[in-house]
Structure 1
Amino acid sequence: MFGTVVIAVSLYTVSRLMPIPAEDAEALALIEAPRPMEGRNGFAALWSLRHDVPVAEAERLLVLEVERFRSRPILIGAGAEPSHASALDAYPRIDAEAGSDVLCSGRETQCLRHVRDRMDALVPAVAMRKALAARVAALDDYEYFRSPFPARPDTPLPAYNPLFQTQTLHAYAFARGDREEGLRGVCRNASIARKLVASGDMLVGGVMGTALMDTSTRLFVDMLAELPADHPLPEECAAAFDADDAMLAGICPSMLGEGHYVLEGFRAMNVDEQPWHRRFMADIFLDQRKTMARGARRHAWFCGAQADALIRADTPLSRQAPVSGGWTFSCLANATGCILDNIAAPSLAGYAERFQDAEARLRTVSAWRALRGQRDDARPLEERLDEWQRAHPGGRRMRIGTHGGGLEIDLFNDSQGRGFALPPPVDRADLRAP
């Protein structure tokens, strides 16, 4: 028995003293490194989007809110007290609930048609949201959106739903005849989506950016399909829907931002306020630094050479991404940490594909617009599409749809359907010609 105890203690000691693997240490350093951004941070404007409060006042309130949040205990789990009221609650809300049932939902694939079928019912709903639309449009004046709140499990998140409500307003403006206003609005939303993706904040911000880009892309194409191919577009639309790899470039910073949030939250959860003997017992099988390094490797993988090669080959990232930290000899003295890391590992599965699909949609729109402008080319559409794809290699393979002759691609993340389809790239002016 004594020999068994000696062997166990020896193994535990060796395991405890093992250094953090170099790969994990590099990943942790990458996650913890400062990631400055140039320009103005619009988080205060995003955070206060639903309230009738001047942005300057919202910026002042945000500073106070962050300080108050830092000083309060973490609220999480069963029995946790409700979070404290926000300073914004003193200001009236402008995101009215009334009329929300007639708005285009986030999953609506034919928002323009949806609006045309409900023009009369939408009149009051649109009127109530004019102030909200103005505040959303002002978000495009900022360069990025990054939260100043400490990373904790109870970190407040901004409300992203108002961004999607404005899509109905832009479709309504277009349907009633103000085409320029409708186009400007949907292109501004696409610009805001780009900035959300590039901000490198928590993963939820990047994912919301891809979702906003997707809904904007569909509405933009629906609008263009009703206009001549040579119709001049507003300045806001110059590069809003270009396939320039912006969605793909957002994968790494978004994963680093999420990694920072997870690691800082783990650190905050392990701030000890318990008696020393309880801390001692808890720390026997938990090495906080090693656990954080294991988790950092999972997030930093999306910035490495293997992920970059998969992105260039347009292969779903989750097929190769590490979904488990596994078990190593160092887990002997960090059993709790390894268990927590292995539980958390699958949480990133599928999210990177949203960015890949968003870029694939933009590439399909670029091809659609190019083919639509070839009015004098009598070659079959399939032949012209193959030529465009040879001239623009890489990316998702497009095909001609079996029904209607539009463009189609398959999606990696099928939460909103297995494919993305566009109408035939035909100029409506040609169809109306005698």
Structure 2
Amino acid sequence: MGGFFRWSGLVVFGTVVIAVSLYTVSRLMPIPAEDAEALALIEAPRPMEGRNGFAALWSLRHDVPVAEAERLLAEDIIRFQTSPPWTVDRGVPPSPYRSVLEAYPLLDAEADSDILCRLGEGGCLRHVRERLDTLAPIMASHAALEERVAALDAYDYFRSPFPARPDTPLPAYQPLLSVQTSYAYAFARGDHEAGLRGVCRSGSIARKLVASGDNLIGGVIGTSLMDASLRLFVEMLAELPADHPLPEACEDAFRPDGAMVAGICPTMTGEGKYIDGGLRAQNGAEQPWHRRLMTGLFLDQRKTMAKGARRHAWFCGAQADVLIRADTPLGKHAPLSGGWTFSCVANAAGCLLENIAAPSLAGYAERFQDAEAELRAVAAWRALREHGADARPLAERLDEWQRAHPGGRRIRVGGSSYVLVIDLFNGRQSRVFSLLLPADGKAVPAP
């Protein structure tokens, strides 16, 4: 019996020695060079030229004097920094942080939202015309909000100065989308210039949101705003003569110049910076002793950040650049996670967190690619529409245009002889983006 216990003890002791040895070697392993380079890219300063309009965006829904927006944002940042961060143990964000904006009345963009145009579906002008009388008082109440949205186009970018934490507050982006109904309302009532100026301004703001590279939410909102603006812009043009003069801003806002796909890299690196800041804040927060012990033993913050950075930095690399230029869906090739490696022995919690978070990036990059493809399709639509008297078949004229403008998503003629169609990579709302072309040079409503 004594021999059994002696051998059992030796086995247990040997197992412990092996486990400790493996843990120690794993803990001492350096960060892989590729991960370290990715983390350096994520942590690198990202300066932008011009004026940051985040304060104006932050206060958008509130009746706040424009001159006070910067001061109020600075006060909000101090309030947020001095409030305890969200932690797993609390389960919900703590209550001490309350925005100073709560003291100001709302310019409610979400009221009566059920009667406003539905984004991503098209037909906004028709929707508005069927409800002109009902919308009249609502649009009057949106005038102040529309003015504040218009002021955003005077800024160059929108980047949050709030410290990154799991509970970092985000601006209310909904007004940017809801005022599309206001532009359609102005156009439907005969003020074509006001409607066109508004929708082109939205396209300009969408570009700036995408280029800001603040975080994934801001970038995706930018692509959604561009999609909504494009659809309404085409609906407006379809009701005007082909030679109708347009506001100057319309050419820059809807030019297919690569701006949407150029936003993929800064958006993904911005999201990576946000996630890293949240991880630092989470680990720096006050925690019970047992959680601090487990975190210290099985979470290497730096290695976890580097492992995640590799996923984000991939969108700035050579492989992603080739795929973007070839207009190939990025989500099918982007790395989902760093997987499980020997370094995970001493960083089990970090690898678990990274593998859980990994799928969140899949598919989002295609929204930027789709927005760029939609811009190109609209450019083709406008060119073909301007030559509506050309008697050649639409497919022949379209092929000619695409040969003259190579690259980008293939545009095809749809089931109808007068519909241009592109396939969308991100098919959550629709698998295709289609544009109805006038059959005889006369204006017809877009679908």
Task: Tell me, yes or no, whether TM beats 0.5.
Answer: yes
2:296 matched residue in structure 1 = 283
Verify: 1:190 aligned to 2:190, yes or no.
Answer: no
Identify the match of residue 32 of structure 2 among 3, 21, 24: 21
> Is 1:38 aligned to 2:49, yes or no?
yes
Residue 227 of structure 1: aligned partner: 240
Q: 1:47 aligns with which of 31, 53, 58?
A: 58
CA drift of 1:133 comes to 0.4
How far apart are 1:6 and its partner, in Å?
2.0
What is the CA distance between 1:8 and its match in structure 2?
Answer: 1.9
**How many residues were matched structurally?**
431
Question: 1:310–1:355: structure 2 CA closer, same or farther, 3 Å change rule?
Answer: same
Matches within 5 A, 1:92-111: 92-95=105-108, 97-111=110-124
* Correspondence for 1:60: 71
The structure whose Rg is larger is: 2
Using the alignment, how far apart are the partners of 1:7 and 1:96 within structure 2?
Answer: 62
TM-superposition CA deviations, 1:341-387 (whole Å, max 9, x none): 11111111110010000001000000001111124432111011111
Give the secondary structure class of the aligned counterpart of 1:109.
coil
Deviations 1:206-257 (A, max 9, x none): 0000000000000000000111111110122121111001000000000000
Report if aligned partners of 2:196, 2:236 keep a CA contact under 8 Å in 1: yes
Q: Is 1:88 paired with 2:94?
A: no
Is residue 241–residue 362 contact of structure 1 (8 Å, CA) maintained in 2?
yes
Over aligned residues, Cα RMSD in angstroms?
Answer: 1.6
Partner of 1:254: 267
Query: For residues 111 and 15 of structure 2, what CA distance do their matches in structure 1 show?
Result: 71
Matched to 1:39, the amino acid is G
Residue identity opposite 2:160 in structure 1: S
Q: Against the structure 1 CA distance between its residues 19 and 97, is the aligned structure 2 distance closer, same or farther, given a 3 Å change threshold?
A: closer
Counterpart secondary structure, 2:422: strand
Partner of 1:324: 337
Moved more, 19-28 or 265-274: 265-274
Greater shift, 266-275 or 317-326, is seen at 266-275
Is 1:412 the equivalent of 2:425? yes
Q: Which residue of 2 aligns with 1:70?
A: 81
- Out of 160, 163, 168, the residue aligned to residue 181 of structure 2 is 168
Q: Secondary structure at the match of 1:219?
A: helix
**Equivalent residue letter for 2:283:** N
Q: Cα–Cα, structure 1 residues 402 and 35, in superposed 2: closer, same or farther, change >3 Å?
A: same
* 1:140–1:188 contact (8 Å) kept in structure 2: yes
Greater shift after overlay, 267-276 or 141-150? 267-276
User: In the alignment, is the contact (CA less than 8 A) between 1:198 and 1:249 conserved in 2?
Assistant: yes
- Structure 2, unaligned stretches of length 5 or more? 1-10
Q: Which moved more, 1:16-25 or 1:398-407?
A: 398-407
Partner of 1:355: 368
Change in Cα spacing, 1:381 to 1:316, as seen in structure 2 (3 Å) is: same
2:159 pairs with one of 113, 126, 146 = 146
Contact (CA 8 Å) 2:34, 2:310: kept in 1 or not? Answer: yes
Pairing partner for 2:381 from 359, 365, 368: 368
Deviation at 1:177, TM superposition (A): 0.6
Residue 246 of structure 2 aligns to a residue in which SS? coil
Structure-1 separation of matches of 2:298 and 2:199: 53
* 1:430 to partner: Cα distance: 7.9
Residue 113 of structure 1 corresponds to 126
Query: Matched residues, percent identical?
Result: 72
- SS at structure 1 position matched to 2:147: helix
User: What's the CA shift for 1:404?
Assistant: 5.3
Worse-matched range after superposition: 365-374 or 272-281: 272-281
- Would the aligned equivalents of 2:85 and 2:285 in 1 still touch at CA under 8 Å? no
Q: Distance in 1 between matches of 2:113 and 2:285?
A: 46
Q: Distance in 1 between matches of 2:26 and 2:302?
A: 14
CA distance in 1, matches of 2:131, 2:59: 30
1:80 CA drift (Å): 4.3
Please state how far the C-alpha of 1:97 moved relative to its aligned partner: 4.7
Q: How far 1:106 moved relative to its partner?
A: 2.1
The CA deviation at 1:273 is 3.1
TM superposition score normalised by structure 1 = 0.96
Unaligned runs of 5+ in 1: none
- 1:389 aligns with one of 392, 399, 402: 402
Distance 1:391 1:427 in 2: 23
User: With structure 2 as the length reference, what TM-score do the two structures score?
Assistant: 0.93
User: Per-residue deviation at 1:271?
Assistant: 0.8
Q: 1:157 to 1:285 in 2, by over 3 A?
A: same
Does the Cα contact within 8 Å between 2:124 and 2:184 map onto a contact in 1? yes
Task: Give the whole-Å Cα distance in 1 for the aligned partners of 2:34 and 2:197.
Answer: 47
Contact 2:259-2:372 at 8 Å conserved across structures: yes
Change (3 A) 1:394 1:162: same
Change (3 A) 1:79 1:142: closer
Change (3 A) 1:373 1:97: closer
- Deviation by residue 1:83-117 (Cα, 9 ceiling, x = unmatched): 63211111111125543332112233110111111
